[in-house]
Amino acid sequence: MLVLASQSPRRSEILRQAGIPFTVRPVEVDETPLAGESPRAYVERLALAKALAAPAGPQETVLAADTTVTIDGALLGKPADAADARRMLALLSGRRHDVLTGICLRKGDSVISDCATTAVWFQVLSSEEIDEYVVSGEPDGKAGAYAIQGLASKFVERIEGCYFNVMGLPVALVYRHLARLG
């Protein structure tokens, strides 16, 4: 049985759509970035911490993940408030950014960690578009202050990489590693 160490409704939705049975056991870890930590190291560290924190039986496989958005070397996590969401969206406007999701699978003493990166290009956003989107509430709790599968879909000009990674779980990468664990 797969144990999802996350309360993310998007991760649950992705696993359900892929036909991968699972149970949810969310965990809390400190998500404060370490000084000088790269975006990849950050998401991989958090995924590992979550996987190790989740209780699991000997026949269970734990899946943990963490997603961040990065632009110009800066991490854009979940916005603190509406003003922070506006700042993030203005930074993404008309530019390319990367979405990184670190994943970790743990079964017994076996641990597999990996990271997926997807490049996303936003069209230029007006201040009115940003305000309207922020007022919708959708940026709340979303890395980079947007949800590609929701209202922000109209801002995305193109992507290179896994769409599901931008939603929060690179399901093909997870599936490949699950097969390795057996």
115-168 per-position pLDDT tens digit:
999 999 999 999 999 999 999 999 999 999 999 999 999 999 999 999 999 999
Catalytic, out of 66, 72, 98, 140: 66
**Tally of domains in the chain:** 1
The residue among 172, 181, 180 whose CA lies nearest residue 15 is 172
Query: Measuring CA to CA, how many Å separate 69 from each of 83, 92, 98, 135, 180?
Result: 17, 10, 6, 21, 28
Handedness of CA 48, 50, 53, 59 (dihedral sign): negative
CB 49 within 8 A of CB 66: no
The CATH number assigned to the domain holding 104 equals 3.90.950.10
Range of the domain at 94: 2-181
pLDDT at residue 90 greater than cutoff 90: yes
Residue 182 is predicted with a pLDDT of 78
The yes-or-no answer on residue 66 being catalytic is yes
41-84 per-position pLDDT tens digit:
999 999 999 999 999 999 999 999 999 999 998 999 899 999 99
